[in-house]
Amino acid sequence: MLDFTLAWTTQNNQDALISISYNGVQYGSFSTTTGTFVAMNGAVLTTPSTIPSTNGGGVGTSPIFYDVNLQLPPGQPATGILQFGTTPVNNVDDSADEVFIDNVVLTGPCDPPVANPVSDTLSVQPVPGTIITLNGGTNPAAVNGSDVQDGALGGTTTTSTVVITQLPTNGAELYYNNVLVTLNQVITNFDANNLAIKLVGAGYTSTTFNYTFRDTDNQLGNNAPYTISWPSPLPVTLVSFDAVKEGSIVKLSWSTTQEVNADRFEIQRSADARTWQVLGQRVAAGESKIQVTYDFTDEAPAGGSNYYRLKMIDKDLTFTYSRIQSLDLVGVSQVSVYPNPGSDKLYLKDVDIKKISNVSILDMNGRSVYKTSAVSAEGIQVNHIHNGIYLLKVTLVDGTQSTHKVVIGK
């Protein structure tokens, strides 16, 4: 935007046309005869185009002032050279009637960029951990805006500068080029294909972040909200799911840190991770923001490979699946540990010692307190381990494992 004051005087009441150019391109013409200003070459006049005819009053008269606000076409630089020229009207020789340009002032050379608000509703219900690219098409719209000098911003362009002025609400995370975005981060040469949001946690139906553009004159524009929403709250947040063999049975345990509208957990088992059967179910806490732990026992696991998963079902019957846990019972189903409880040494029986790769002992939080690959018939020394309940895991050289609950007490 060019905002300047044009002033002129004439001698002997002669008429003239005053041309206004910017960086060598004429964008306006003013007639001192009619008081009319005409914009050209894509420029737009945002002040009245006509004022009373003011062609001056002869030698020594005061200058006539006219304020001009001229909006240049997109893509023009914000700084440059403002030029004026005069042309006589009706071929009148103005050698003695020169038009004088006085008090030219260039102020506010450009408007700030404009960022557009974006609001998009997902067509598919997301789950915790869902990552969504914000690039338009079948995905939510890209950030977008415009600038008088710079033209279109964001969208499909790759030359804009974007500033993230508020991080996503409700714990969601914003990533650019697979790196977590920080507050007030400046992203140059912005490419919408690299901007993605990750939905973290549970219990909310929308998330909003704010952004703005910085133009080529380093001017920041308005803060615009970007909102994504979906019909139902994100379901259960599952933080752990484990399967442990204890003798001839399999113990399953899992924990959640947040539940919203949760109804039940369905426990499923498969021999090939393709065809599943329902073993049972557990009622969910429903509404919770604290850690809740559940368990289930498979009293009759199949010989060979056993795969387990949870089907987490909400009250509206939407559901998601947990990751799969597997146990291979081949070759270790007869392994047993004695004495149990033990105080000094533990021994393994019904297994070829030469086929054991390693033995580890874990506390009930899953931390390893002992591990050895040198297993012998002389037993496993445990007198240095504090009293308590532990899991002893036996791993054979073929990769099969068995886990046994043991009690150490002195």
Buried-exposed string 60-74: b where 16+ CB fall within 10 A, e elsewhere? eeeebebebebbbee
pLDDT value for 332 = 46
Q: Is the pLDDT of residue 104 over 50?
A: no
Mean pLDDT of 46-55: 58
Mean pLDDT of 269-286: 90
Q: Is the pLDDT of residue 276 over 90?
A: yes
pLDDT value for 96 = 37
Across the chain, which distance is largest between two alpha carbons, in Å? 123
H helix or E strand, kind and range, residue 87: strand 82-88
Domains 114-229 and 237-328 agree in fold: yes
pLDDT value for 63 = 60
Q: What residue segments make up the domains of the chain, in order of their start?
A: 2-102, 114-229, 237-328, 336-408
pLDDT value for 76 = 65
Q: What percent of the chain has pLDDT over 90?
A: 40
H helix or E strand, kind and range, residue 344: none
Dihedral class, residue 109 (left if φ above 0, else alpha if ψ from -120 to 50, else beta) = alpha
pLDDT value for 260 = 74
Query: Which of the following CATH numbers is that of domain 114-229: 2.60.40, 1.10.10, 3.30.230, 1.10.3470?
Result: 2.60.40
Q: Is the pLDDT of residue 172 over 50?
A: yes
Take residue 347 and report the two structure tokens written for it. Answer: 């021994």
Confidence band of 318 (pLDDT split at 50, 70, 90):
confident
Mind listing the pLDDT tens digit for each residue in 370-383?
999 988 888 999 99
Highest average pLDDT, of 145-149, 152-156, 197-201, comes from 152-156
Identify each DSSP E strand in 205-290 by its residue range: 206-214, 224-229, 237-246, 249-258, 262-270, 277-283
pLDDT value for 66 = 67
| Distance between CA atoms of residues 76 and 235, nearest Å | 51
Confidence band of 245 (pLDDT split at 50, 70, 90):
confident
Mind listing the pLDDT tens digit for each residue in 280-300?
999 998 877 778 899 999 987
| Distance between CA atoms of residues 223 and 119, nearest Å | 14
Dihedral class, residue 247 (left if φ above 0, else alpha if ψ from -120 to 50, else beta) = left
| Distance between CA atoms of residues 404 and 360, nearest Å | 11
pLDDT value for 235 = 66
In this predicted model, which residue has the larger pLDDT, 351 or 33? Answer: 351
Tell me the backbone φ, ψ of residue 315, rounded to 5 degrees.
Answer: -65, -25
Mean pLDDT of 226-246: 85
In this predicted model, which residue has the larger pLDDT, 327 or 66? Answer: 327
Q: What percent of the chain has pLDDT over 70?
A: 80
**In terms of Cα–Cα distance, which of 211, 213, 256 is closest to 235?**
256
pLDDT value for 4 = 60
Mean pLDDT of 331-357: 83
| Distance between CA atoms of residues 164 and 167, nearest Å | 7
Domain 237-328 classification at class level: mainly beta
Q: Across all residues in the chain, what is the average pLDDT?
A: 81
CATH 2.30.130.30 correct for 336-408: no
Q: Is the pLDDT of residue 328 over 50?
A: yes
| Distance between CA atoms of residues 342 and 354, nearest Å | 23
pLDDT value for 79 = 59
Mean pLDDT of 118-143: 91
pLDDT value for 94 = 41
pLDDT value for 90 = 43
Mean pLDDT of 159-183: 95
Mean pLDDT of 290-312: 87
pLDDT value for 316 = 80
Mind listing the pLDDT tens digit for each residue in 6-23?
666 555 455 667 788 887
Q: Is the pLDDT of residue 59 over 50?
A: no
- Which has the minimum average pLDDT: 74-83, 171-180, 191-200, 250-259? 74-83
